[in-house]
Amino acid sequence: MQHGFIKVGAAIPLVSVADPQYNVDQLIALAHKAHDEGAEITVFPELCITGYTCGDLFTQQTLLQGAEEGVKRFAEATSAYDNVYIVGAPVYVYGALYNCALVVQRGKILGIIAKCYIPNYGEFNERRWFSTGYNLRTEGNIEYAGQSVHIGSYQIFHTGRYAFGVEICEDLWSVTPPSSALALQGAEIIFNLSASDEVTGKHDYLRSLIAQQSARSMAGYVYSSCGFGESTTDLVFSGKAFVAENGSILNEAKRFCFDAQMLYSEIDLDKLRMERRGNTTFATAQADLYPKATHVHTAPITEKECTLTRHYCRLPFVPQGDVLDAHCDEIFNTQVAALAKRLTHIHCSKVVLGISGGLDSTLALLATVRTFDRLQLPRTNIIGITMPGFGTTDRTYQNALSMMEHLGISQLEISIKAACIQHFSDIGHDINVHDTTYENGQARERTQLLMDVANRENAIVIGTGDLSELALGWATYNGDHMSMYGINAGIPKTLVRHLVEWEANNRYEGDIRRILLDVVNTPISPELIPAKEDGTIKQKTEDLVGPYELHDFFIYHFMRSGYSPSKIFYLACRTFEGEYDETTIKKWLTTFFRRFFQQQFKRSCLPDGPKVGSVSLSPRGDWHMPSDASAAQWLKECEEL
């Protein structure tokens, strides 16, 4: 599959206990289905050849011989495919019985993996029948199902494009799961064959365990557990299956289903490799690693064109679902804790903010109000300054005044028009030429006013610029680019809008809520160009640099996932299908990369500001890039889209 995605499958077949003939028929049917639907590797449940609940029948030669014949028949039935299948069977070798996973491709058994951790608790005490894979001190080849096959507990399989490892059920629950060692030795996807019985509350714990192990090992994790047909003498098996990646559950099966199931998703190898490259503790953990894995090479697996089934959020920075309230409150608390620390450290009890009536200054004001309330400082120590200029509209002007009044902060109004006219005259600039000098002159005049008032009041200037503006360089150097503490620096524009709306709906009511919601619905603009004849905003930021929902999507997947322009373009076209056509997405993606590289010099000298999420542009701790780095490689790829 293109763009670094690998389609994987988790199969849950119907089971007849101790009947390898029936079970293999079920496995073959699902193997054909997995092949037809493009899964490169498919994992089946633990001991799926015989069924998991055979009990003392595992000691019977008849069952063991039937299992071996069943594995041989399964291998022959799938010999025309280069797909890989992982099935479970009991294997008797060296005078002991092992609970094993068998990796099968093109009719060949590539390896046999013995389960390491054998449970001795609960209703199904596996130690009654099975030995631990750690007993396989002498790993080597054995004769099984008519083939010479390597057997051992730690094996990594290389396809030429990626590597994967296998562990079995209880291995995951152990203090040191084999998957951890396999991941550190190169396995990028882990497959788990399991037979996990159903106990109230266990499912949620298991789900969390799988997500956490995929995060800890920075790997894909594919899990399949047996379902309908296993004996219910004492236990019930509901048929659990998961596909996880680096802490996220991508897909999961429906439990308590009476039919066979196939679960699919796509593992993103590009993202996993980006995570591992950027995490030096991963490399540190590789030193003196034991036990060492045996490396096995598969036959090449044909890359198939498959439809991407994974969902990518349009607004990756915005909290979704049940965590919405908790995450929004946590973000505000992060801002509050940061600003409170800065104020107490410098023994400052006053701040100055420029209040424009726009989103960014509104968020900064709301967070500052929360901070002063927590520190039990009077809100009047917050000095809000509105500075109307040539492009200020009545809507934003009135909202700015009303907000300051309703929130009970100190208010100043200082027009910048006269000062800018004088300044333009001093430098010989025609005021009728609305160019960069005209715009930036206003921005710097506002910053000078804020700084000077802060000096007079023994206060600090709170910056209002957000992460999206910093990524695009959409700020005037030494104008709104500068402050004494940038409280919004870690928050992208789409999240700014959402936070203001959330705060309005959850902490305020009446007129102030109405005002805040009107701010949310106001077009984003620096208001540096005179308004239209009807008094509405003429200069709309998103008309000039592109929609922020696209840019935030680009920022997230470039910085957090390390994606190339072509992959970001592919995902954006799918995610925003019906909203933006490919030409539009390509245009703004090119704009993003051009501006991101060109404007690094502004980020290299940013004021301090709190990190809020996993993406940050701070030059001190997060994004280190020279100001003269070339964008040529990225722009070339954009041109070729």
**Do 328 and 224 share a structural domain?**
no
Render pLDDT for 557-585 as a digit per residue (tens, 0 to 9).
999 999 999 999 999 999 999 999 999 99
Residue 607 lies inside a defined structural domain of this protein: yes
**Do 583 and 461 share a structural domain?**
yes
**Do 278 and 332 share a structural domain?**
no
Residue 241 lies inside a defined structural domain of this protein: yes
**Do 622 and 585 share a structural domain?**
yes
pLDDT for 122 equals 62
Sign of CA dihedral 467, 473, 479, 484: positive
How are beta strands 140-144 and 147-152 bridged, if at all? antiparallel
**Do 328 and 237 share a structural domain?**
no
Q: Determine which of 117-121, 383-387, 455-459 has the lowest per-residue pLDDT on average.
A: 117-121
Render pLDDT for 207-225 as a digit per residue (tens, 0 to 9).
999 999 999 999 999 999 9
- Verify whether residue 266 is a known catalytic residue: no
Q: Which of 115, 240, 350, 567 is catalytic?
A: 115
Task: Name the strand (E) or helix (H) holding 301.
Answer: none
In angstroms, rounded to a whole number, what is the distance separating the alpha carbons of residues 64 and 421? 93
578 CB-near residues (< 8 Å, 6+ apart): none
Q: Which of 54, 100, 116, 169 is catalytic?
A: 169
> Higher model confidence: residue 319 or residue 104?
104
Q: Which domain holds residue 532?
A: 321-639
pLDDT band at 231 (very low <50, low <70, confident <90, very high): confident
Q: Domain tally for the chain? A: 2
Average of per-residue pLDDT across 28-44: 97
**Do 279 and 178 share a structural domain?**
yes
Question: What pTM, to 2 d.p., does this model score?
Answer: 0.91
**Do 357 and 282 share a structural domain?**
no
End-of-domain residue from the set 297, 312, 329: 297
Other Cβ atoms within 10 Å of 415 Cβ, number: 12
Tell me how far CA of residue 481 lies from CA of 181, 386, 476, 601, in angstroms: 47, 18, 6, 11
CATH code for the domain of 485: 3.40.50.620
Tokens of 512: 């102030």
Average of per-residue pLDDT across 332-350: 97
pLDDT band at 36 (very low <50, low <70, confident <90, very high): very high
**Token pair 């989103």 in the structure block, residue:** 359
In angstroms, rounded to a whole number, what is the distance separating the alpha carbons of residues 632 and 641? 15
pLDDT band at 534 (very low <50, low <70, confident <90, very high): confident
DSSP secondary structure letters along 591-640: HHHHHHHHTHHHHTTPPP----SS----TTTT----TT---HHHHHHHHT
Q: Is the pLDDT of residue 465 over 80?
A: yes
Q: Which of 46, 170, 503, 549 is catalytic?
A: 46
**Do 328 and 292 share a structural domain?**
no
Tokens of 473: 């360089």
End-of-domain residue from the set 281, 297, 313: 297
Residue 155 lies inside a defined structural domain of this protein: yes
Other Cβ atoms within 10 Å of 288 Cβ, number: 5
Tell me how far CA of residue 150 lies from CA of 154, 394, 536, in angstroms: 11, 78, 75
Residue 308 lies inside a defined structural domain of this protein: no
- In three-state secondary structure terms, 97 is strand
Q: Is the pLDDT of residue 548 over 60?
A: yes
In angstroms, rounded to a whole number, what is the distance separating the alpha carbons of residues 627 and 323? 38
End-to-end distance of the chain based on CA atoms, in angstroms? 18
Secondary structure, 3-state, 419-486: HHHHHHHHHCCCCCCCCHHHHHHHHHHHHHHHHHHHHHHCCEEEECCCHHHHHHCCCCCCCCCCCCEE
Residue 391 lies inside a defined structural domain of this protein: yes
200 CB-near residues (< 8 Å, 6+ apart): none
Check if the beta carbon of residue 286 is closer than 8 Å to that of residue 184: yes
Q: For residue 69, count CB atoms less than 10 angstroms from its CB and return exposed for 0-12, middle for 13-18, buried for 19 or more.
A: middle
Average of per-residue pLDDT across 47-64: 94
Residue 565 lies inside a defined structural domain of this protein: yes
Other Cβ atoms within 10 Å of 136 Cβ, number: 21
**Do 533 and 451 share a structural domain?**
yes
Render pLDDT for 114-144 as a digit per residue (tens, 0 to 9).
999 998 866 678 889 999 998 775 568 899 9
* Dihedral-angle region of residue 390 (phi above 0 means left; psi in -120 to 50 means alpha; beta otherwise): alpha
Query: What's the half-sphere exposure (Cβ side, CA atoms, 13 Å) at 544?
Result: 15
- Verify whether residue 46 is a known catalytic residue: yes
pLDDT for 434 equals 93
**Do 337 and 290 share a structural domain?**
no
CATH code for the domain of 129: 3.60.110.10
How are beta strands 96-105 and 108-114 bridged, if at all? antiparallel
**Token pair 């899964």 in the structure block, residue:** 39
DSSP secondary structure letters along 103-133: EEETTEEEEEEE-S-----SS--GGGT---G
Secondary structure, 3-state, 35-55: HHCCCCEEECCCCCCCCCCCH
Render pLDDT for 240-299 as a digit per residue (tens, 0 to 9).
999 999 999 999 999 988 899 999 999 999 999 999 998 888 888 887 777 788 999 999
**Do 277 and 166 share a structural domain?**
yes
Check if the beta carbon of residue 352 is closer than 8 Å to that of residue 462: yes
- Verify whether residue 573 is a known catalytic residue: no
End-of-domain residue from the set 282, 297, 312: 297
How are beta strands 163-168 and 155-158 bridged, if at all? antiparallel
- The percent of residues in the chain predicted with pLDDT above 90, rounded, is 83
Residue 309 lies inside a defined structural domain of this protein: no
- In three-state secondary structure terms, 240 is coil
In angstroms, rounded to a whole number, what is the distance separating the alpha carbons of residues 393 and 566? 40
**Do 374 and 292 share a structural domain?**
no
Whole-number average pLDDT of the chain: 93
Check if the beta carbon of residue 90 is closer than 8 Å to that of residue 144: no
Q: Is the pLDDT of residue 353 over 90?
A: yes
**Which amino acid type is present at position 561?**
S
Residue 312 lies inside a defined structural domain of this protein: no
Tokens of 375: 């520190």
**Token pair 């054909």 in the structure block, residue:** 32
In angstroms, rounded to a whole number, what is the distance separating the alpha carbons of residues 559 and 282? 19
* Dihedral-angle region of residue 6 (phi above 0 means left; psi in -120 to 50 means alpha; beta otherwise): beta
